[in-house]
Amino acid sequence: MVNEYLTTKDVHLFYGQKEALKGINLAFPQTGIHALIGPSGCGKSTYLRCLNRMNDLIPSVKITGEIELDGVDIYQPKTDTVELRRQVGMVFQQPNPFPFSIYENVAYGLKLSGRQSKEFLDERVEQSLKQAAVWEEVKDQLGDSALSLSGGQQQRVCIARVLAVQPSVILLDEPTSALDPVSSNLIEEMLLTLREDYSCIIVTHNLQQASRISETTSFFLNGSLIESGPTKEIFVEPKKQETDDYLSGRFG
Amino acid sequence: MDPIKTKIQTRSKETRQEIWGQLLSYAAIILIVAVVCSIFMFVASKGLATFTKDHASLRDFLFTTDWSPTTMGKDGRPLVGALPMIAGSFGVTVLAVIFATPFALGTALYMTQLAGKHGQKLLQSVTELLVGIPSVVYGFIGLNVVVPFVREHFGGSGYGILSGAFVLFVMVLPTITSLTVDSLRAVPSHYQAASLALGATEWQTMYKVTLRAALPGILTAIVFGMARAFGEALAVQMVIGNATLMPHGLLTASSTLTSVLTMGIGNTVMGTVGNNALWSLALVLLLMSLLFNLVVKWIGRKGRI
């Protein structure tokens, strides 16, 4: 692949004795959307959480292999996870805004690195909400609790919250699976604009979604990477039998 | 009549059980409500008699400092200035809660966010143990340890609001801690995940998200602690010095509503001014605990997300 920005080499992950990832080799360019597909429990979310070291929070997890972001190994002992997670943002399956106002939700990540001027915050909050395609809906109620919004709006505010800290990679863990089709569409359209500037890695169970928005797709099964390549090739003429079976609905 | 019709028109055994159960629970509710109401009415009728029957003035009661209910003042009204006791009660309560809250918060944060399973269990049983110790034991320790300590390091006789607050500090600590722990545990873990994923440190996450989301619960814990401190009688009475004088500082002997009540109620005759005046103090206590309850309810409503 050209322009390898985020690369993982032979990544194994163990939950105690159980091997959940069995040597994953993948590389992502600096822009574009990459979809991770596969049946439940195949390790795709676990893999995603390796990329911003969210698995560190789970005790008894052991990870081996190499994950490099822009040429730097992120599992070195001296890696600053704070800085890493600012570079590699994450959107979760369930919309999880803080129980604060919309404005404070988006400004949260910015305020973490010290005091910022009001103008700077205002500007960045507006810009992020616009990028996340939710500005028009919430611009008159920035002071209201984010929990008063609909699920789809909440998820877009969560995306704005990630965009506000200007990451280079955005990890999305089934971001639309808890949403209605209209909200899902809005988020898909937004992702299509984000892919110009960010590297988006999206875990999804929705195969149509993967085929609609991603340039490249990887198929996971039982902790192994079965096949990876341009989305069109994977969907139209998969090289492996397992991929074909999964895509045609024979299992999973 | 055909048998099916009779069957569906008569009450089945299950229906009769249901009705019986309902009656039983209604009876229990009515009994409890009746008990609470009659306690209120009893205390209120006795407590108000000081003002209606014995012609003490409410203003004197709340704002003057001469407490000697059996003697008459110059205006022919009994001297029922309860301000020293009210001030004493609020003094020990507020101080105790101010001392206890930071410790309770720290302990609760450690228990919920940092400690491993063993640490959690250990602290849990320690706090539960603190709840179980009878208040007379606290008072006794206060008398033998806290009072001399205060005398040596702060001056005065050692009896006073400060000693009372120290003893209450230990007594309200488990209350505030365990309720704070509950409210911190109730914070959904996805808030923490979101915060960490945005590049917050653990400390920032605790401080800016967890504590903030748990704030209504923590305030409730503090108010419950206050209610506990306000109502505690025995342990405070043993270390506060029991002088019905306006406290001039934290180190002079003073008294609280509860300490005057426990000291005096056995030494007065039912129906006399002295006895009625004590009931007035009890009424103040009752109203205060009602107020604490209302505050808790109000916080709960405001804080609901």
- Chain B CA closest to residue A95: B190
pLDDT digits (tens, 9 = 90+) for B241-290: 988 888 888 899 999 999 999 988 888 888 888 899 999 999 999 999 99
pLDDT at residue number B69: 86
Which is nearest to B224 in space by CA: B101, B88, B84? B101
Q: Give A82's contacts in chain B (Cβ within 8 Å).
A: 199-201
Q: Give A57's contacts in chain B (Cβ within 8 Å).
A: 193, 196
Per-residue DSSP letters for B205-240? HIIIIIHHHTHHHHHHHHHHHHHHHHH--HHHHHHH
pLDDT beyond 60 at A252: no
CA distance B189 to chain A (A): 10
Mean pLDDT of B65-75: 86
Q: Which two tokens stand for residue A137?
A: 């809906």
- Chain A CA closest to residue B304: A99
ipTM above 0.95, yes or no: no
B211: Cβ contacts below 8 Å, ≥ 6 apart: B105, B109, B184, B218
pLDDT digits (tens, 9 = 90+) for A6-36: 999 999 999 988 999 999 999 999 999 999 9
pLDDT at residue number B18: 93
User: Phi then psi for B125, rounded to 5 degrees?
Assistant: -70, -30
B194 and A89: CB-CB below 8 Å? Answer: no
Mean pLDDT of chain B: 91
pLDDT beyond 60 at B31: yes
Mean pLDDT of A48-74: 90
- Chain B CA closest to residue A53: B197
Q: Which of A49, A50, A82, A113 to mutate to test the interface with B (most CBs of B within 10 A)?
A: A82
pLDDT digits (tens, 9 = 90+) for B119-139: 899 999 999 898 889 999 999
Give the CATH fold of the A6-247 domain.
Rossmann fold (3.40.50)
B193 and A145: CB-CB below 8 Å? Answer: no
A92 and B194: CB-CB below 8 Å? Answer: yes
Per-residue DSSP letters for chain A? --S--EEEEEEEEEETTEEEEEEEEEEE-SSEEEEEE-STTSSHHHHHHHTTTGGGGSTTEEEEEEEEETTEETTSTT--HHHHHHHEEEE-SS----SSBHHHHHHHHHHTTS---HHHHHHHHHHHHHHTT-HHHHTT-TTSBGGGS-HHHHHHHHHHHHHHT--SEEEEESTTTTS-HHHHHHHHHHHHHHTTTSEEEEE-S-HHHHHHH-SEEEEEETTEEEEEEEHHHHHHS-SSHHHHHHHTTS--
The share of chain A scoring above pLDDT 70, in percent, equals 98
pLDDT at residue number A52: 92
Q: What's the one-letter identity of residue A72? A: V
pLDDT at residue number B70: 85
Q: Which two tokens stand for residue B163?
A: 């000693």
Question: What are the domain boundaries of chain B?
Answer: 83-303
Residue B6 confidence class, pLDDT cut points 50, 70, 90: confident
Question: What are the domain boundaries of chain A?
Answer: 6-247
Helix, strand counts (H, E) of chain B: 15, 2
Alpha-carbon radius of gyration of chain B: 25
Report how far residue B152's alpha carbon sits from residue A171's, in angstroms, rounded to the nearest whole number: 62
* Closest CB from B188, B199, B213 relative to A112: B199
pLDDT at residue number A212: 92
Q: Give B196's contacts in chain A (Cβ within 8 Å).
A: 54, 57, 85
B193 and A92: CB-CB below 8 Å? Answer: yes
Mean pLDDT of B143-169: 94
Q: Give B204's contacts in chain A (Cβ within 8 Å).
A: 112
Give the CATH fold of the B83-303 domain.
MetI-like fold (1.10.3720)
Query: Residue B6 CB: number of other CB atoms within 10 A?
Result: 9
pLDDT digits (tens, 9 = 90+) for B44-55: 999 999 999 888
CA distance B303 to chain A (A): 10
pLDDT digits (tens, 9 = 90+) for B200-251: 998 999 999 999 999 999 999 999 999 999 999 999 999 999 888 888 888 9
pLDDT at residue number A2: 52
pLDDT at residue number A60: 87
pLDDT beyond 80 at A227: yes
H/E segment holding residue B61: helix B58-63
Residue B12 confidence class, pLDDT cut points 50, 70, 90: confident
CA distance A88 to chain B (A): 8
Which is nearest to A52 in space by CA: A40, A63, A38? A63
CA distance A57 to chain B (A): 9
B149: Cβ contacts below 8 Å, ≥ 6 apart: B158
B 153-212 → A contacts, CB under 8 A: 188, 190-191, 193-201, 204, 208-209, 212
pLDDT at residue number A79: 87
* Closest CB from A57, A85, A100 relative to B198: A85
Q: Contact B216/B297 with Cβ under 8 angstroms?
A: no
Residue A1 confidence class, pLDDT cut points 50, 70, 90: very low
pLDDT at residue number B265: 85
Query: Residue B155 CB: number of other CB atoms within 10 A?
Result: 10
- Chain A CA closest to residue B207: A112
Q: Give A92's contacts in chain B (Cβ within 8 Å).
A: 190, 193-194, 197
Report how far residue A142's alpha carbon sits from residue A129's, in angstroms, rounded to the nearest whole number: 10
Residue B10 confidence class, pLDDT cut points 50, 70, 90: confident
Mean pLDDT of A194-209: 92
* Closest CB from A52, A98, A147 relative to B197: A52
* Closest CB from B188, B191, B198 relative to A161: B198
Query: Residue B166 CB: number of other CB atoms within 10 A?
Result: 20
Q: Contact A115/A198 with Cβ under 8 angstroms?
A: no
Residue B304 confidence class, pLDDT cut points 50, 70, 90: low
Residue count (chain A): 252
Per-residue DSSP letters for B235-293? HHHHHHB---S---SSSS-B--HHHHHHHHGGGS-TTSHHHHHHHHHHHHHHHHHHHHH
Q: Give A55's contacts in chain B (Cβ within 8 Å).
A: none
Report how far residue A228's alpha carbon sits from residue A26's, in angstroms, rounded to the nearest whole number: 8
pTM of the model: 0.82
Size of interface A-B (CB pairs under 8 A): 62
A112 and B196: CB-CB below 8 Å? Answer: no
- Chain A CA closest to residue B204: A112
Q: Give B212's contacts in chain A (Cβ within 8 Å).
A: 99-100
Mean pLDDT of B85-96: 94
User: At B93, is the secondary structure helix, strand, or coil?
Assistant: helix
Cα distances (angstroms) measured from residue A202 to each of A86, A93, A164, B224, B303: 18, 11, 19, 47, 35
- Chain A CA closest to residue B113: A57
pLDDT at residue number B163: 95
Report how far residue B205's alpha carbon sits from residue A234's, in angstroms, rounded to the nearest whole number: 41
Answer positive or negative: Cα dihedral of A212, A214, A215, A216: negative
B197 and A89: CB-CB below 8 Å? Answer: yes
